[in-house]
Structure 1
Amino acid sequence: MKLEVFIGTHEVGHLHYDDATHLYSFRYSPDWINTPGRSPLSPHLGFEQVQPSLLHSATVKAFFDNLLPEGRALDEAAAVCNVSKSSLLGLLAGMGMETAGALRIGIDLLTPQAEQNIMRQLPHEELSQRIRDRASIPFSVWDQRVRLSIAGYQDKIAVFDSDDGMWSLVDGPKLASTHIIKPEPMHEAMAGLTSNEFFCMKLAASVGLPVAEVSLHHVPEPVLAIRRFDRLRLKDEVRRLPVIDGCQLLNLPPAFKYERPYGDSRDVANIRDGSTFAGLFAALSAAKFPAAEKAALLRWAIFQIIIGNTDAHAKNLTFFTGERWLMLAPAYDLVSTVIYPKLEHSYAMAIGDAFNAENLDAAEWAEFCAATELAPAFVTKEIRALAERAKHSADKTAREVINAGADPAVVEAIVGQTLKESSRLLEMSKNISYMFKHR
């Protein structure tokens, strides 16, 4: 089995699976390697031609597995594609034309049919009906096929936002989605998530974090529209920009997006083989401007603590590759999980050894500094700056998003969390340098 991998109209290489050895491999096209300015897909899939092996196979599988959806969305995609959900190439053959980043994956991508650019409008009435029908019709399936392959558990659909404000479903090498649309989750335990994310994203922007542009719509059900930062809208096409997520940066499979990939029960809580801040900061040493990227990642980490986002895992981080090698992309999926009492509230990645807010103190921030090789004075300065900005901006941002249609109760709960945690961070920041010296 072999799939073609393209960026735009350029063939990058081929993804192979050998059913005799059960090994995966990826081979770059000679034209891709030999054209000046072209980059490998990730730091772990370099241009050197390696022989099929268990190590290469694991690296290839981890990279492409991270392009797939997760949970129920993966189950539904497998059913529609009529393949096992463990069939990586089978899934990508059916849904790899619209992935995160620049890649288009499939079979015979240079045929006249595959090169057609197709657009069909998605009226709000149809979207509203499909939101109501999610219990019986998978939300990722439109026109009898899976429309996108993007990681995550939430229901979402990728659309093209035209100049007249209409949303459309699109296909083709020169057409691509420009926005991700998320409705409210079906599970009542996460009610108000669209308002939650809308507020957290707007608050992040107000304190100076680069974030994806978001807007809240009612069709009449609330939906959050997120402008894709991995798309560049040009006059006659949409260019796809190459990116990788945190797991791809660390060469880890999607199940290892959490630091404790086996959970936090007594017998496995000490196994921390998944994604870590130490690993992410170390990987950014290969960036073109490592100091700037590490500063951006630090601010991202601090902001998760402020809003109470305990699900801030490695797949919620994206990095531009290509010409902007390992540049942190704008933030997305910013939500306050602690306002939902039925959710797990352990940090996806620890600060020091603290996996929850109760155990986070100056000593754990000092351990974080040691693990990430960041200067305690610098970490202290960034904590104070973000906490002060968040306290100053929370109420104003709340009024703005409520006026834009956000749920007041949800927003007020996050404001309370933000003010409380900002004050707590300001207090503990006074002792980080001292604890670092005496650890």
Structure 2
Amino acid sequence: MAAERSAEILFKDRPVGVLLETPDGGTRFVYGPDVTETIACALPVATREHGWPAGLHPVFQHLGPEGWLREKQARAGRVEEEDDFGLLLRYGRDCIGAIGIRPVQPITPSGWGGDAETRAATVGGRTVSGVQKKLLAYHDGDRYLPAEADGPATHIAKYNGQSEPTLVRNELLSLRLARDVLGAKQVTAFDRGFVAGLDEPALIVTRFDRTATGAKLRLEDFAQILARPQGRDFGGKYAGSYEEIAAAIRQHSARPLIDLDQFFRCVVFCVLIGNADAHLKNFSLLETPDGLRLSPAYDLLNTLVYRGAYKTEFALALGGDRIPTDRIDRRRILAFAEAIGLPAAAARLALRQLRDRIRRSTAIQPPDAEPEDGFLHRYAEIVENACSRLFEE
């Protein structure tokens, strides 16, 4: 029987404890004796040890890659794709947020090899969560370069999927509209460009979990905050409700009423653009000088435009039900606002402001030359229908 593995857990590159496999297949995280700072909402430092019965604790499990990047890193690192701990031991030195994983026993480098794409995906013991094809990168003058083993990794480059060649265009449109409707400070900064060595165009988003000098900021998505295990099919991020996210905001945010209002607006925006994939990992709390706050919006996509490629039900329960995204109306949204403790006046003001801003935006205005069944026309039609359901009193 193989010996249980262990890892040193880093927080902002400082050792804060150890993560141990247990004989029964679980894991146990133990804070160091001198550590006084909580590293995650689900791992309060007042409790010195945190066990999990099967596999990695969700705080650590959700740091690992999914989809395309998981396959690339598992193959290059000679790790089984199902081995969450093994993947983090090899690639978890630099993850999203402030937590890092360093193996207690040194791991022999496997060598990256392969093409430029494989090397960019596997170099440097770094990883990023999410299903979509993506790579870590940084800005150098007028170009983007793949992140190396050391040095900056200030951006995430996101690419089209083989079966969905419009993902980059879709998210670019969605972010532009979100910037107009939610406000520039409430949306991740973004660009469209190429990463050197890769021929595909990418959506390149600026990481808000890194400062201008590269320092790491604490960032936790709500799958981590609510300690929802990933699941074999990676479906754990759908196991929850928007009301649960709101309750966690109330508990952990330094400005809960402000963040509840912003969260409400983000949920409404997801309905507006037909985003049926706004799951627990697509909302996060971010470290700020004031404390933890709701992060800028990210991973915004019109999924209804793909007509069957995604589920049409809203990603999480709303009002206790799994509702088709295109059936969420004003009544349900106002009931949701009441359920999360947002005053009726604030909810109605938010709806009026969102209505006025989306009417002024030209982000998704189809060009005259595009046919009526073109991508932008279908996108705009989904938004128009949602506006009728949400804004008509």
TM category, shorter:
0.7 to 0.9
Uncovered stretches (5+) of structure 1, i.e. residues with no partner: 34-38, 115-125, 131-138, 262-273, 403-407, 431-439
Q: Specify the code of the residue in structure 2 equivalent to 1:155.
A: K
Q: What are the Cα deviations for residues 6-48 of structure 1, in whole angstroms up to 9, with x where unaligned?
A: 2344212211112x23331112223432xxxxx3122220113
Q: Specify the code of the residue in structure 2 equivalent to 1:24.
A: T
Shift in alpha-carbon separation, 1:220–1:176, aligned structure 2, 3 A: closer
2:244 aligned to 279, 290, 307, which one?
279
What is the DSSP-based 3-state SS (H/G/I as helix, E as strand, rest coil) of the residue aligned with 2:136?
strand
Shift in alpha-carbon separation, 1:50–1:233, aligned structure 2, 3 A: closer
| 2:202 aligned with 1:223 | yes
Q: Which residue pairs with 2:159 in the alignment? A: 183
Could you tell me how far 1:66 is from its partner in structure 2? 0.7
Shift in alpha-carbon separation, 1:249–1:233, aligned structure 2, 3 A: same
| 2:156 aligned with 1:169 | no
| 2:325 aligned with 1:346 | no
| 2:327 aligned with 1:359 | yes
| 2:388 aligned with 1:423 | yes
Q: Specify the code of the residue in structure 2 equivalent to 1:194.
A: V
Does the aligned pair in 1 maintain the 2:63–2:96 contact within 8 Å?
yes
Shift in alpha-carbon separation, 1:24–1:419, aligned structure 2, 3 A: same
Shift in alpha-carbon separation, 1:289–1:60, aligned structure 2, 3 A: farther
Q: Which residue pairs with 1:331 in the alignment? A: 297
What is the DSSP-based 3-state SS (H/G/I as helix, E as strand, rest coil) of the residue aligned with 2:191?
strand
| 2:347 aligned with 1:369 | no
Q: Which residue pairs with 2:227 in the alignment? A: 251
Structure 1 stretch displaced more, 83-92 or 318-327: 318-327
Q: Which residue pairs with 1:47 in the alignment? A: 45
Could you tell me how far 1:67 is from its partner in structure 2? 0.7
Q: Which residue pairs with 1:156 in the alignment? A: 134
Does the aligned pair in 2 maintain the 1:45–1:59 contact within 8 Å?
no
Q: Specify the code of the residue in structure 2 equivalent to 1:227.
A: T
Q: Specify the code of the residue in structure 2 equivalent to 1:162.
A: D
Could you tell me how far 1:181 is from its partner in structure 2? 0.7
Q: Which residue pairs with 2:78 in the alignment? A: 82
Give the % identical residues: 24
Q: What are the Cα deviations for residues 358-396 of structure 1, in whole angstroms up to 9, with x where unaligned?
A: 432344234423432333332222122212211220xx2
Does the aligned pair in 2 maintain the 1:44–1:59 contact within 8 Å?
no
TM-score, normalised via structure 2 length: 0.84
2: distance between equivalents of 1:284 and 1:143?
33
Shift in alpha-carbon separation, 1:51–1:177, aligned structure 2, 3 A: closer
Q: Which residue pairs with 1:14 in the alignment? A: 18
2: distance between equivalents of 1:92 and 1:280?
26
2: distance between equivalents of 1:242 and 1:110?
26
TM-score, normalised via structure 1 length: 0.75
1: distance between equivalents of 2:138 and 2:66?
23
Q: Which residue pairs with 1:379 in the alignment? A: 347
1: distance between equivalents of 2:338 and 2:235?
20
Does the aligned pair in 2 maintain the 1:140–1:147 contact within 8 Å?
no
Q: Aligned-residue CA RMSD in angstroms?
A: 3.2
| 2:180 aligned with 1:202 | no
Q: Which residue pairs with 2:370 in the alignment? A: none
2: distance between equivalents of 1:301 and 1:186?
29
Shift in alpha-carbon separation, 1:415–1:31, aligned structure 2, 3 A: same
Does the aligned pair in 2 maintain the 1:284–1:290 contact within 8 Å?
yes
Shift in alpha-carbon separation, 1:50–1:108, aligned structure 2, 3 A: closer
1:99 aligned to 95, 118, 133, which one?
95
The correspondence of residues 307-318 of structure 1 with structure 2, limited to 5 A, is 307-318=273-284
Q: Which residue pairs with 2:358 in the alignment? A: 390
Q: Which residue pairs with 1:414 in the alignment? A: 379
Q: Specify the code of the residue in structure 2 equivalent to 1:300.
A: C
Q: Specify the code of the residue in structure 2 equivalent to 1:14.
A: V
Uncovered stretches (5+) of structure 2, i.e. residues with no partner: 368-372
Structure 1 stretch displaced more, 320-329 or 344-353: 320-329
| 2:30 aligned with 1:27 | yes
Shift in alpha-carbon separation, 1:140–1:349, aligned structure 2, 3 A: farther
Could you tell me how far 1:224 is from its partner in structure 2? 0.9
Aligned residue pairs, count: 371
What is the DSSP-based 3-state SS (H/G/I as helix, E as strand, rest coil) of the residue aligned with 1:21?
coil
What is the DSSP-based 3-state SS (H/G/I as helix, E as strand, rest coil) of the residue aligned with 1:283?
helix
Does the aligned pair in 2 maintain the 1:100–1:243 contact within 8 Å?
yes
Does the aligned pair in 1 maintain the 2:69–2:134 contact within 8 Å?
no
What is the DSSP-based 3-state SS (H/G/I as helix, E as strand, rest coil) of the residue aligned with 1:154?
coil
2: distance between equivalents of 1:363 and 1:420?
15
Does the aligned pair in 2 maintain the 1:257–1:313 contact within 8 Å?
no
2: distance between equivalents of 1:109 and 1:212?
37
Could you tell me how far 1:75 is from its partner in structure 2? 3.7
Does the aligned pair in 2 maintain the 1:257–1:275 contact within 8 Å?
no
